Structure 1
Amino acid sequence: MSFGQGGPSWGPGGNHTPDWAALAEESAARSRRKKWLLIGGGALATAAVAAIVATAVITTNHDSGSTGSDRNTGDLPGPADLPTDSAEPAPSFSTVAPPPPPDPKDYISDVKKDRAPITVDSFYPGKKLTMGDRAYAKGATHHTTSCAATTQGALGSILTNNGCGQVIRATYSRAGVAVTVGIAVFDTEAQAKKAAQQASGGLASLSGSGVPTFCRAGAICRRTANSYGRYAYFTVGGFTSGKNVTKADRDVFTVGDDLTNFTFRQIRHRGEVQASAAATASTG
C-alpha cells in the first residue's frame, strides 16, 4: 500500500492508528487527477487527428486538379490561377447590313426586269372568278399586239401614242351583267400611267362564249381606267339586254369593281413572284 511521499497519516493521540478519513480523501483526489489527465489527453489526440485530416483534405483538393509543376506547391490557387473564359472564342457578327429585299413593283415597272410570260391564263386563269360570295362565269378571251383594235373612240390612238405593245381582254358575266376587262402592256411605268390618265373613249366589249353583244350601238355603260407598274387596265360593263346603266345600278358597279381589284392583284402578284425568285437566286 502506498501512502504518498509523506508516509501514512496518523490519527490524533499519537497511537499510530492511521487516519482513515484522510487516507480516503487523498485516494479520491488521486482518482480525480487521473481522470482529468485522461480527458485532457483524449482532447489533445482528437485535435491532432482533426488537424491531420484537414491537412489531407487541403492537399488532396490541390493535387486532384493540378498537373506537372502544380503538384509541387501546397498552396491553394490564387485568383490569377483560376480558369477563366478568356480562352473561349467570342461570337462574331458581320457589320455589313444585308441588302433590302427586292421591291415587287420594280419587277412589273420595267420591261427589262419583267420577264415572265404574258398570257391570258397568267392573268385570268380558270373558267370562273370568285370574289367573296360572288362567282362570275368566264366568257371569251382575246390577246393581240394590235392595241387600237381593242378599243372604241380615242383610246386606240392614246394607247398607240404611248407605246402600247399588246392587250389582253377577258369577259365575265353574272345575272344579266357583263364586264370586259383589258390589260394594255407598255415598256415603262410612266407610259402606262400616262395612257390611263389620258384615257378617253374606252375599251371595246368582248362577246362570245355564252355572252351576247353588250355595250355597243350607243348603249350607256360604265367605263374605268387605272394603271399599276407598266400595265394600264380598263373595264367596260353593262347589261346584256342592252339597257343603259345608271348610277343606281349597283350590280354593274360591283362586277366592274371586282374585276378591277382582281386585275390589280394579279399584276402585283406577278411582281411578287419575280422578286421572290430574284431574292432566292441572290442567296443561293
Structure 2
Amino acid sequence: MSFGQGGPQSQWDPWKPNSQQPWNSGGGDQTPDWAALAEASEARNKRRRLLFIGGGALATVAVAGAVAVAVVSANGSSEASDSPSSQLPSTADIPSETATVPSFAPTSAPPPLDPKDFVASNKKDKAPLGPDILFPGTQLTMGETVYKKGPTADTRTCGSAAQGTLPKVLAASDCTRLIRVTYTKGDVAVTVGVAVFDTEAQAAKAKGQADKKSIVRSLSGGGVKSFCEGAVCRSTTNSYGRYAYFTIAGFTNGKDVTTKATEVFRTGDDLAEFTFRQIRRRGEAQASAAAAEG
C-alpha cells in the first residue's frame, strides 16, 4: 500500500496542537472523513458542557457562602468571630461626643445691690443730708410744669415744724430731723416736710399712725406769702426707707381748697413724687458707690 506524498499519514486529534486533519491526499476526488469530524465535534461540545457545569457549581457555592455571611451578620451573632460587626469596639469603648467638650464651673453674677437697703437705716445711709441736697437748685420741672423753689428749713426738733396730731406721731416714732422746703407756682404753694428716722420700721410706723389732722407746718418767707394757716388745705402722707414725707398745699391768697382746685392737687402730687424720687436716688447713688468699691 502506498501513501500519499509526505510520508505516512498521522492520526488527527482536534485537541492536539499541530495535528492535521485526515484528508486523503491520494487524489482530487477524495473527500474529508465527515464521520470523524462529527465525532470530534461531539467530543469537543461535551467537554465544554462539563466545564460550564463545573463553573456553575463553583459560582453556586460562592453565592451560598455570601448568603451565609449576610445571614450571620443580620442575626448579629456574637459567636461568628469573622462577622464585620464583631470587629467594632463596644459601646463603652466608643468615645462620647461630650467627652471632648470642655466643661466650666458655673458662674453667676452677684445680685445687684438694692438701693432701698441704703436708705432703710442710718447704719448704711451715710451720705450727706440737707435741704439743698434733697432739693437742689432754684426750681424743678415736673412734666411741662415749672415750680419755683422758696424757703427751706432744717430742725432737730421735729414737733416744732408740725401741727395737729403730727407732733405726737413724730415723737412716738423717735423722729430725729425734719427738713422742709416750699415751692410755688402762681398763687399756689406747697410745703414738703421730710421726717428722718433711724430705721425704716419707725418711718412706716409714723406713716401708719398719721391721720387727716397730721399736718406739716407750711413754710413761708423769702417772697412767699403765708398760706394754710387758717384756710382749708390739702395734705398727703407717705414713706420710703427711713424717711416719712408730708405735703401741705393751698392758695397764697387765703382761699380754701375745694375738690375743684385741680391745680392744688396736682402741685401737691408733683412735689410728693419728686420727694420720693430724690430719696430713691439717694439710695441708688450709695448702692452704686458700694458696688464700685467691691
Report how far residue 165 of structure 1 moved. 0.4
Residues 175-254 of structure 1: matches in 2 within 5 Å?
175-199=186-210, 200-216=213-229, 218-254=230-266
| Counterpart-to-counterpart distance in 2, 1:213 and 1:187 | 32
Please point out which of 255, 262, 268 is paired with 2:274: 262
Report how far residue 89 of structure 1 moved. 9.5
Report how far residue 201 of structure 1 moved. 2.9
Q: Which residues of structure 1 form unaligned runs of 5+?
A: 1-85
Q: Is 1:157 the counterpart of 2:168 in the alignment?
A: yes
| Counterpart-to-counterpart distance in 1, 2:259 and 2:101 | 74
Q: Which residues of structure 2 form unaligned runs of 5+?
A: 1-97
Q: Which residue of 2 aligns with 1:147?
A: 158
| Counterpart-to-counterpart distance in 2, 1:230 and 1:253 | 26
Q: Secondary structure at the match of 1:208?
A: coil
| Counterpart-to-counterpart distance in 1, 2:103 and 2:279 | 44
| Counterpart-to-counterpart distance in 1, 2:223 and 2:204 | 34
Q: Which residue of 2 aligns with 1:127?
A: 138
Deviations 1:200-235 (A, max 9, x none): 33100000111011111x211111110111000000
The structure with the larger Rg is: 2
- TM superposition outliers: structure 1 runs of 4+ over 3 Å: 88-91
Please point out which of 103, 122, 129 is paired with 1:118: 129
| Counterpart-to-counterpart distance in 1, 2:121 and 2:214 | 27
Report how far residue 240 of structure 1 moved. 0.3
Q: Is 1:103 the counterpart of 2:114 in the alignment?
A: yes
| Counterpart-to-counterpart distance in 2, 1:113 and 1:99 | 19
Residues 38-53 of structure 1: matches in 2 within 5 Å?
none
| Counterpart-to-counterpart distance in 2, 1:154 and 1:179 | 19
Residue type of the partner of 1:175? Answer: G
Q: What is the aligned length? A: 222
Report how far residue 160 of structure 1 moved. 1.3
| Counterpart-to-counterpart distance in 1, 2:137 and 2:273 | 17
When normalised by structure 1's length, the TM-score is 0.66
Q: Which residue of 1 aligns with 2:104?
A: 92
114-123 vs 169-178, which moves further: 114-123
| Counterpart-to-counterpart distance in 2, 1:191 and 1:135 | 33
Residue type of the partner of 2:265? Answer: F
Report how far residue 108 of structure 1 moved. 0.7
| Counterpart-to-counterpart distance in 2, 1:125 and 1:105 | 21
Residue type of the partner of 2:169? Answer: I
Q: Secondary structure at the match of 1:232?
A: strand
Give the fraction of aligned pairs with identical amino acids, expressed as a percent: 55
Q: Secondary structure at the match of 1:156?
A: helix
Residue type of the partner of 2:274? Answer: F
Residue type of the partner of 1:227? Answer: S
Deviations 1:26-82 (A, max 9, x none): xxxxxxxxxxxxxxxxxxxxxxxxxxxxxxxxxxxxxxxxxxxxxxxxxxxxxxxxx
Deviations 1:242-274 (A, max 9, x none): 111001100100110000000000011111111
Please point out which of 267, 271, 274 is paired with 2:286: 274
Q: CA RMSD, aligned part only? A: 3.3
